[in-house]
């Protein structure tokens, strides 16, 4: 089947951390996919998994329309993180409106959007399926804006079938904002990490599984699914990564005189201790987490052994 026929996927954000794992997952499922990228993006992950790269920008209607032609399902993962150049507010509002408009114009059947547990706000307690989002920061609010635009479109009945996957903090191989700093600190012999409460984490391959299942299951439009792989306290995670690396690093909580090397937003996530709790709606779309704490940390360690330059040059 050619990409010009309806039975293919478009990944928005295919070159990102989670997007790269979704590229691999869809390839393993035998799916035909296109991956949208912005000029200057690193394309190795797509080239190695049979994905046709198409240059597009969510804020450019014409380039996005061209990328979506012949597509059956859109996997929406393109959202800048608050780690430097911002830009997330416009992408999550105007960009999402463009996605919805282009999807209607081209006859897309399904949009699966990756959201985040952070929309509930960093002062939230345990999150259940009945918890109302109460974002505090600009990034959290922008993510909820994208969610609501999609849900409003689904309620209006003029959009493709829509599913939203709200995932807990992602961690795994190729994660530069948590895994790499933890590796670097472990190599230095001392890991200082903020936060004491257990929080939920999601392996990117479990996120990929959840997005694929929500796209391919006969589900009603406008559903939101809460997804995680495991719960762990930050010090427990740091110690597990050190063990997987074969290092005897000292692990301690952040204090007044000892600060973590993690990016600020990552530190805020760990301090918040957000976690999904209670019965979740996984049975509705056949999701089962495949990664626990030990397996995730072993994978991170194996990735580092294969590509040690990543942590050295970060």
pLDDT bin (cut points 50, 70, 90) of residue 181 is very high
Q: Is the domain of 215 the same as that of 99?
A: yes
> Tens digits of per-residue pLDDT, 153-174?
999 988 899 999 999 999 999 9
> For the chain, what is the domain count?
2
- What's the average model confidence in pLDDT over 28-33? 87
Query: Measured in whole angstroms, how far is the alpha carbon of residue 157 from the centre of its chain?
Result: 27
Average pLDDT score over the chain? 89
pLDDT of residue 33: 84
If DSSP codes are grouped into helix, strand and coil, which group holds residue 56? coil
Tell me: pLDDT of 2 over 50. Answer: no
**Residues in Cβ contact with 236 at an 8 Å cutoff, skipping those fewer than 6 apart:** 198, 293
For 229, the token pair is: 């792989």
Q: Let me know whether 91 and 195 are in one domain.
A: no
Whether residues 147 and 269 share a domain: the answer is no
Q: Find residue 32's DSSP bridge partners.
A: none
Res. 201: pLDDT tops 60: yes
Residue 233 to residue 63: CA distance in whole angstroms: 43
Give the neighbor-by-neighbor strand order of the sheet with 161-167.
52-55, 33-37, 9-12, 73-76, 110-116, 161-167, 223-227
Residue 221 predicted with pLDDT over 60: yes
Same-domain check for residues 35 and 63: yes
pLDDT tens-digit profile of 93-106? 999 999 999 999 99
65 and 149 part of one domain: yes
- CATH number of the structural domain spanning residue 15: 3.40.50.720
* Chain Cα centroid distance, residue 42: 18
User: Which domain covers residue 57, as residue numbers?
Assistant: 9-170+202-230
**The two three-digit tokens of residue 118, written as one number:** 């952070």
d(C-alpha 273, C-alpha 123), whole Å: 9
The CA distance from 22 to 11, in Å, is 8
- Residue 73 CA to residue 210 CA, distance in Å, equals 14
- 29: in domain: yes
Whether 108 is in a domain gets the answer yes
Say how far apart CA 243 and CA 221 lie, in whole Å. 44
Q: What is the pLDDT of residue 12?
A: 93
pLDDT for residue 26 is more than 60: yes
Can you give the pLDDT at residue 205? 97
4 lies in some domain: no
Q: Is residue 2 part of a domain?
A: no
Mean pLDDT of 221-247: 96
Q: Can you tell me the distance from the alpha carbon of 239 to that of 120, in angstroms, rounded to the nearest whole number? A: 28
pLDDT per residue over 34-49, tens digit each? 888 766 555 566 656 6
Query: Across residues 299-311, what is the average pLDDT?
Result: 87
Rounded Cα distance between 75 and 48, Å, is 19
């Amino acid at each position: 089947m050619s990409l010009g026929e309806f039975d293919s996927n478009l990944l928005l954000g295919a070159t990102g951390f989670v997007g790269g794992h979704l590229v691999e997952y869809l390839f393993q499922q035998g799916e035909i996919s296109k991956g949208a990228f912005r000029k200057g993006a690193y394309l190795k992950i797509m080239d190695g998994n049979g994905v046709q790269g198409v240059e597009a920008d969510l804020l450019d209607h014409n380039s996005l329309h061209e990328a979506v032609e012949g597509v059956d399902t859109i996997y929406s993962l393109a959202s800048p993180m608050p780690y430097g150049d911002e830009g997330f507010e416009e992408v999550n509002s105007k960009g999402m409106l463009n996605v919805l408009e282009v999807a209607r114009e081209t006859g897309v059947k399904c949009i699966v959007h990756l959201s985040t547990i952070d929309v509930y706000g960093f002062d939230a307690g345990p999150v259940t399926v009945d918890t109302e989002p109460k974002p505090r920061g600009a990034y959290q609010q922008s993510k909820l804006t994208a969610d609501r635009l999609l849900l409003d479109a689904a309620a209006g009945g003029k959009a493709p079938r829509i599913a939203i996957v709200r995932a807990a903090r992602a961690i795994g191989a190729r994660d530069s904002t948590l895994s790499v700093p933890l590796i670097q600190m472990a190599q230095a012999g001392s890991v200082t990490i903020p936060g004491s409460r257990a929080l939920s984490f999601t392996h990117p391959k479990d996120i990929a599984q959840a997005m694929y299942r929500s796209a391919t299951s006969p589900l009603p439009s406008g559903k939101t699914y809460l997804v995680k792989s495991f719960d762990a306290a930050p010090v427990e995670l740091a110690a597990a990564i050190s063990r997987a690396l074969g290092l005897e690093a000292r692990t301690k909580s952040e204090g007044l005189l000892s600060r973590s090397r993690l990016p600020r937003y990552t530190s805020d996530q760990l301090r918040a201790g957000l976690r999904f709790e209670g019965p979740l709606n996984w049975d509705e779309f056949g999701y089962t987490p495949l990664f626990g704490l030990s397996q995730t940390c072993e994978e991170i360690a194996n990735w580092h052994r294969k590509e040690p330059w990543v942590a050295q040059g970060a």
